Amino acid sequence: MDAGQLAFACAPTGAWAAEEAIFVGSEIYRGSSYGGLHPLRVPRVSTVMDLARALGWLPAARYRTSPRAKPAALRQWHDPDYVDALHEAEAMTRAGQPLPEAWRTRFGLGTLSNPAFPEMFRRPATGAGGMIWAAETLALRASGTIHVPGGGTHHGLRGRASGFCYLNDVALGLTALRRAGLRRLAYVDIDAHHADGVELAFADDPDVLVISVHEEGRWPFTGGLSDQGVGNVFNLPVPRGFNDSEMVEVCERLIAPRVAAHGAEAIVLQCGADALEEDPLARLSLSNRAHLGVLDALRPLAPRLIVTGGGGYNPWSVARLWTAIWGRLSGREMPDRLPPDAEAVLRGVGWNGGARPLPADTLCTTLIDEPRPGPVRDVIRTRLTLLERR
């Protein structure tokens, strides 16, 4: 395909009008943690909600409390045995009982990455419920956008927990869009990690485009350039230090043209925040402008859009990115400097343990990062050319 003839806005434009965007949140994210040693001990969605409210961006009419998906709804994609085990694991944990040893190997439950904790069913089931609700709501409408920052658990497998993900709310959301009558779907994932669970789920489905841009050589060590599925899977592993200019190139040559050509009735954009420079678990170097650029490029390419969260382990950069995404979806003007109430929200956040440094002051006083441009490296150009030739 000749991507050179296509002109997509892969830098932030903010050009679309305010609309009836919906934010799906829940208080469960405020009161639960994966445990004091886990990267997900930090607050994320609750800080987004607080920051958006401090900015006056989250009026009651735009906010929906996420429903919690029932086991029967989870069985639409997950194995029944696994759903039952996860449900039971929460009850056992709340009763102070250890999980059966065999569940660690069989279901991935009770491991370092997917520990037992008192909300281990209800918290992921809330993310899944939000995604299913978003899918069913949008499918009934001719158009719309919904932000589900608690969604984006792209590593979850049909029959086991993996990579901090107990359920795969993305697969459940795409399945719900399909069941509600939409056929052509596009999934774009710009988390630092490969969307292995989603690729496994839809690699055989030519109607679901699956694009994942992720750091090479990083867990789960899947997502190679050569994966094709049935022609619908496009993986771009990128080297350390991946910068804003490189993301613009990736968006213009891979993401936007492929999504445009697919003719999607709905897009799901997984906006994991771990590809940001400040993230402690990955080595990519994006500013949050890169994510907004992809969002702006995708927005006109389908009538319906769901934006999820995903990874992201620096509580300041996560909150700023996902709040900025909500601001963009709901047509807000981005402030140069945060007003005092909003700054206070970010000043009140911490690592909740560990010996990590405090953030640079700008992570508390601004919402939008300075741009992080750089050279577009040959390795990225070469890989894009290979993907264009498919």
Stretch that binds Zn ion, among 32-40, 50-58, 99-107, 304-312 (CB under 5 A): 304-312
Q: Which of 150, 223, 311, 359 binds Zn ion (CB under 5 A)?
A: 311
Residue closest to 270 by CA, chosen among 250, 249, 298: 298
Among the listed residues 38, 154, 155, 262, the single catalytic one is 155
Q: Which of 39, 129, 272, 359 binds Zn ion (CB under 5 A)?
A: 272
- Measured between alpha carbons, how far is residue 314 from residues 115, 157, 227 in Å? 20, 25, 31
- Return the residue matching tokens 């498919």: 390
Q: How far is the CB of 192 from Zn ion (least distance, A)?
A: 5
Q: How far is the CB of 191 from Zn ion (least distance, A)?
A: 4
Instruction: For residue 196, state whether it binds Zn ion (rule: CB under 5 A).
Output: no
Instruction: For residue 223, state whether it binds Zn ion (rule: CB under 5 A).
Output: no
Return the H-helix or E-strand segment holding 130. helix 122-139
Instruction: For residue 193, state whether it binds Zn ion (rule: CB under 5 A).
Output: yes
Q: Dihedral angle at the C-alpha atoms of 302, 307, 310, 315, nearest 10 degrees? A: 140
Residue closest to 52 by CA, chosen among 333, 359, 324: 324
How many residues sit close enough to Zn ion to count as binding (CB under 5 A)? 6
Q: Could you count the other beta carbons within 10 Å of the beta carbon of residue 248?
A: 21
Choice between 178 and 214, CB closer to Zn ion? 214
Angle at 355 between CA 352 and CA 356, to 5 degrees: 85
Question: Which residue has the CB atom at the shortest distance from Zn ion?
Answer: 311
Please indicate whether residue 291 is annotated as part of the active site.
no
Angle at 108 between CA 103 and CA 113, to 5 degrees: 130
Instruction: For residue 327, state whether it binds Zn ion (rule: CB under 5 A).
Output: no
Choice between 11 and 190, CB closer to Zn ion? 190
Angle at 211 between CA 129 and CA 191, to 5 degrees: 65
Helix (H, G, I), strand (E, B) or coil at 334: coil
Choice between 168 and 366, CB closer to Zn ion? 168
Q: Which of 50, 90, 191, 216 binds Zn ion (CB under 5 A)?
A: 191
Choice between 193 and 291, CB closer to Zn ion? 193
Instruction: For residue 274, state whether it binds Zn ion (rule: CB under 5 A).
Output: yes
Footprint on this chain of Zn ion (rule: CB under 5 A): 191-193, 272, 274, 311
Active site residues: 155
